[in-house]
Structure 1
């Protein structure tokens, strides 16, 4: 009885099979078209317009000859070509409540859930500055996918790809090198490590840009191109203002950076040299940048721990894509297996992903976007690009793990590079790996009236978002609890609010962040679901224990019927969400269950109900608490005893 709804569907299948025999036409395929019926007509409906036109009032045949042979279906009504099906709600409620009572925290698991082995790589924020609000959506999506698939019984390993070979890393390393003592002093004084390193990165980048632009401006002036020079002067002034902003934030650290960086004659060139040296394994450069990266990752872990996000592995790009010869392997295998699709462009090595996709017609097989650009794999100076190392990373997974799917949670703006990656793997002969790799794409998070720029230090960090949510909740709960408990409650509600918000909109749609929605206690929010769970918990604590269910009352209320139907559908919701990797389905479900329960709670007594009804209602409340709790665990929304 792990999936009560499936028992109803089995009855529907039997009904259609028997009907096929009665009318001489096979109608069993219509089981795939079952939808919810309008409440006044029953539970489920099947559009059967063509069958009705051909055979007339099939409901009469069903009610007279077929219903007596079924277990749960007790009535059908034909309305406008729809066959509306109702069930014996008492028998079904008994099945649902006993299933939930017996299975407890395992309720929701069914044989429709996908199993197998999954690798999920998510978040993977550049270790240069604090994670911003967009990284939060990535982290929550990836973590909840892992929770969902693990609930289903799948083997799941979760990875964070540490981009320590990126073009941004020399800025972090050089800045850290010249201001290390102050950085460590700030951290020892209570500053969050990645917040301090965010200043290091942004100021170093700004100084480098000012030096680069100044050189160009001087050259343009010498050539008499004053209009072009003036445009660059305006751009340089923007970077100067970035530095001034950081002077206001931390004068001592910023000025120490400016003094230290000023000693380098050509900082932009130095950045390029460090980038190449790091990739080639230079001992000094590796030591400095890795030390700086580790400081940032310490801050990341603090933030992710608040959100309940954990990883099985932190994979350093230098180790899994460069030091192991991965980049060389990618280049050599492509040159060997697909030389006709490799070309030189001003010294850079390019893979003609566009031509390869077209020639082999791989659009459907690899789920490609219709437009594929060329893919540059090596710059003219011989250094690799992120894409090249990304291909090597996929091969590292292939060599070291067995999996059915490799899910990579990456923003939609990376659709083309991720398509190029799959095409490169296919061209190298790794056809199965290319098919197993899923780009789990998500759109950006919008904040009204704000344009973010990580390099200029203009962004809303994930920490700031969590802290703002916690402060807003604290204003509501302070005075209701002792200080320590109030802090814990506010933190849990803040985390629930943020996680729910990130999951509430389909990943393929932009998410506009609004505090009015995020902290709405009346509907469709994490706090609303937590509040509903607390309500069920309060009733059950007062009840003392959940009595044994002996019978279902004859005339249960419409809300009780709807709750029963929703509870029975939960395993189906979980299975479909896992099959389609659509977490928003679970969000929609818990919101609806919470709305119906709260409506029910306001209208009907539970503990003061008359004997017979009281026992049923306590069991119903317990079932709602169990299902809400199970769903909250998958979504990563903290359970609370009271709030």
Structure 2
């Protein structure tokens, strides 16, 4: 037996079946409408308004049904206002819940109804051009927590990071690295994080490219007498010049080295396009320069992710899994061969008519895609592939190399159309099973009050800065409570818990507004609050020395009963969260459990309770500690002994 609440539902189902026999009705479907009853009426309620309307008073039939059963958990079964209200026997249910938690320990929460199977979860996949920012943090924490949840349930899970080393951003990193390599490596050898250094490199190189491009346009417009249009471009150019000045404020020597090196090239933007094509075609020099830079940046990414407790089973380079293996050629050839009617040329570019596929085949529900789907360009007129083409090739690489039941891709909601186009392309290419196995796990952006982020202009809050700020704020609170050698690690663990919880507590389909007051609230609904509650429960057990054998008193307090009910529901919460891939169900649950436990602890003694009650309460506290700990492990929130 893994799920105490499930045992309650099993008895409720038996009762409904017995009542159905008395009435000559099949009441099996009524189980799905079970809800929490108002406290004065018991634990759960089943709406039976239709039966009451049909048969009138059901009391006699209900009594006969109850007399035909031997119920271990159900108590006080009555019909009030059309609802079948049911309570549980506190002592029996407490025995079941606490014994189950003690027996299962860190496995408590997983049930037979949890999804099993084989999952691949692709998440984070930040472009290796600059430090990961706060938005990448939400992606990373969501993906990692989904993996933790499914593994907890018994599924086999692989996590992948897709390294976007092709495309139009990474060449700017390579060019900047090429012209200022000595200064860049010196900064890294001095202890600066590589991705932080390359954030400046990317910003300056891209900004210089834009300044040079805009300057040419301004000169042309001015020569044609189009001064109003020229003035608009001058304002835009000033913004890019401001980005360069901001970079210089961060590191003048590096910025000057970049400006000096880039001054040799007349058109940096054109050079970046040329490098992008050369990289995709396997040019030895361009590959070597860009890969050196990317490898350094990924080293910085790993440092950041390690702080959050996030690791990957595989780092997949786009160039290797989608280009070098001729994956993009395969995509184009198979689309033309298998879906010729949906591929066309437009101004020299190759276009996939995803809009017509969705319309003609009516795949909106089958593939869970938006109603509006635009057409998709697969090849530019110069023959280079786009991100979507390489992404389709990447999906085929998964298909060729792994057996899986679901491929979960944690990608921002702004990519809803490309992800739908990908599945439509796979479907008409003949990979219908693969198309159905891909889940776009969409999430909304993270908002920072009063700040608009732009990675290209170097305006963003990096994930490291976020963790460091949280750690600094926490240190200011706890520094006098711990020796210096302990305060830092504790503050880091609390910072990680605070940030991870904040990213998980809001449904992914809702924007997240980051607020320090909420993130570090020690009174409710935050990572530190959950950690504090766990520490409090753990401290009680450590002071007790051991958890004695369970003794269930006859007088169970209302707050104790409510805790028992909540603890018994944990496996059902985990099952629902895993089935629907909704981590926020768990954050909501642990917040309620923590509020209830802290309120209980303030009201009732545990260590100094009378004999009989003391044994029971220690078992209850131990169960709270176990459930909180299991939930924290799923969410990736560090457990602490002291706080």
Residue 203 of structure 1 corresponds to: 204
**Distance in 2 separating the partners of 1:48 and 1:167:** 62
Equivalents in 2 of 1:375, 1:208: separation in Å? 27
Q: How does 1:224-623 map to 2 (within 5 A)?
A: 224-549=225-550, 551-623=551-623
Paired residue secondary structure (2:38): coil
- Could you tell me how far 1:23 is from its partner in structure 2? 1.4
- C-alpha separation in 2, matches of 1:300 and 1:190: 15
Whether the 8 Å CA contact 2:121–2:410 is kept in 1: the answer is yes
Q: What is the CA RMSD across the aligned residues, in angstroms? A: 0.9
Name segments (4+ residues, structure 1) moved above 4 Å. Answer: none
- Taking the aligned partners of 1:62 and 1:414, their CA distance within structure 2 comes to 55
Q: Please give the alpha-carbon distance, in whole angstroms, between the structure 2 residues aligned to 1:449 and 1:503.
A: 23
Is this contact kept in 1: 2:141–2:500, CA < 8 A?
A: yes
Q: Which moved more, 1:223-232 or 1:133-142?
A: 223-232
Judged with a 3 Å threshold, the aligned counterparts in structure 2 of structure 1 residues 484 and 66 are, in CA distance, closer, same or farther, namely same
Aligned position for 2:640: 640
Instruction: Give 1:108's aligned residue.
Output: 109
**Alpha-carbon distance between aligned partners in 2 of 1:462 and 1:58, rounded to the nearest angstrom:** 61
SS of equivalent residue, structure 2 residue 159: strand
User: How many Å separate the matches in 2 of 1:58 and 1:397?
Assistant: 58
Q: CA deviation at 1:225?
A: 1.4
Which is further off, 204-213 or 68-77? 68-77
* Alpha-carbon distance in 2 for matches of 1:23, 1:166: 68
Unaligned runs of 5+ in 2: none
Deviation at 1:501, TM superposition (A): 0.2
1:91-240 equivalent positions in 2, closer than 5 A = 91-240=92-241
Deviations 1:59-105 (A, max 9, x none): 45324541553221122122221111111111010010000001100
Give 1:48 shift: 1.0
Cα distance in 2 for residues equivalent to 1:89 and 1:432: 49
Give the equivalent residue in structure 2 for 1:54. Answer: 54
Which string of whole-angstrom CA distances, capped at 9 and with x for unpartnered residues, describes residues 114-162 of structure 1?
1000000000000000000000000000000000000111000000000
Q: What CA distance in whole angstroms lies between the structure 2 residues aligned with 1:200 and 1:45?
A: 62
SS in 1 for 2:548: coil
Aligned residue number for residue 624 of structure 1: 624
Residue aligned with 1:365, SS: helix
Q: Which residue of 2 aligns with 1:38?
A: 38
Which stretch shifts more, 572-581 or 71-80? 71-80
CA contact (8 A) 2:18 2:65 kept: no
Whether the 8 Å contact between 1:445 and 1:512 is mirrored in structure 2 is yes
Q: Deviations over 1:409-436 (max 9, x none)?
A: 0000000000000000001000000000
Alignment partners' CA distance in 2, 1:20 and 1:268: 75
Q: Deviations over 1:299-344 (max 9, x none)?
A: 1000000000110000000000000000000000001101111111
Deviates more, 1:556-565 or 1:218-227: 218-227
Looking at structure 2, the residues matched to 131 and 261 of structure 1 have their Cα atoms a distance apart, in angstroms, of 25
Contact 1:45–1:84 (8 Å) recurs in 2: yes
SS in 2 for 1:509: coil
Matches of 2:214 and 2:82 in 1, distance apart?
Answer: 72
SS of the aligned residue for 1:572 comes to: helix
CA contact (8 A) 1:63 1:75 kept: no
Deviations 1:430-470 (A, max 9, x none): 00000000000000000000000000000011011100100
For normalisation by structure 2, the TM-score amounts to: 0.99
Indicate if the aligned counterparts of 1:343 and 1:350 stay in contact, CA closer than 8 A. yes
Contact 1:363 1:369 in 2 (8 A): yes
With 160-169 and 26-35 compared, the bigger mean Cα shift is at: 26-35
Residue by residue over 1:363-409, the C-alpha shift from the partner in whole angstroms, topping out at 9 and shown as x without a partner, is 11001101000000000100000000000000000000000000000
Partner SS state of residue 560, structure 2: helix
Secondary structure of the equivalent of 1:69? coil
Q: Structure 1: how far apart are the matches of 2:58 and 2:640?
A: 51
Structure 2: how far apart are the matches of 1:141 and 1:49? 41
1:25: which partner in 2? 25
Q: Is the 1:14–1:70 contact (alpha carbons within 8 Å) kept by the matching residues of 2?
A: no
CA distance in 2, matches of 1:518, 1:104: 29
| C-alpha displacement of 1:636 | 0.2
> Any conservation in 1 of the 2:23–2:61 contact (CA below 8 Å)?
no
Contact 1:342 1:352 in 2 (8 A): yes
**Paired residues of 1:59 and 1:83 also in contact (CA < 8 A):** no
Query: In 2, Cα distance between the equivalents of 1:133 and 1:283?
Result: 35
When the two structures are aligned, how many residues end up with a matched partner?
Answer: 642
